Amino acid sequence: MRTKVIIDGLKNTQKFRAVINGVFIGDCEIKDLLGSRFPQREQRVAVWNTLYQIARSRRIEGDWIVGYSQNRDGIDVQVDLV
């Protein structure tokens, strides 16, 4: 059975690197957002929202960006697609 797409515009096996509050989180995949890769829920949500912004700008605005950085609820997040 086929797994549903987690974030529209990105494959579930898309690799990315995340930096949360200056701490590098190794190479991850989109499907790691559903697991326990991120210790705190707030961190996972911040990374999820940042990935959503990347997918949205690729899909709607036509920009082919590979990285995005933002401050989400007091958490500094930087995500780069690999």
Terminal C-alpha separation, the chain: 27
pLDDT tens over the chain, length 82 residues: 788 999 998 999 999 999 999 999 888 999 988 887 888 899 999 999 999 999 999 988 888 899 999 998 899 999 999 9
Predicted confidence at residue 48, as pLDDT, reads: 94
Q: What are the angstrom distances between the C-alpha of 47 and each of 1, 2, 7? A: 27, 24, 12
Helix (H) or strand (E) holding 75: strand 75-81
- What is the DSSP pairing of strand 75-81 with strand 67-72? antiparallel
Predicted confidence at residue 50, as pLDDT, reads: 95
Predicted confidence at residue 21, as pLDDT, reads: 93
Look at residue 35 and give its three-state secondary structure: coil
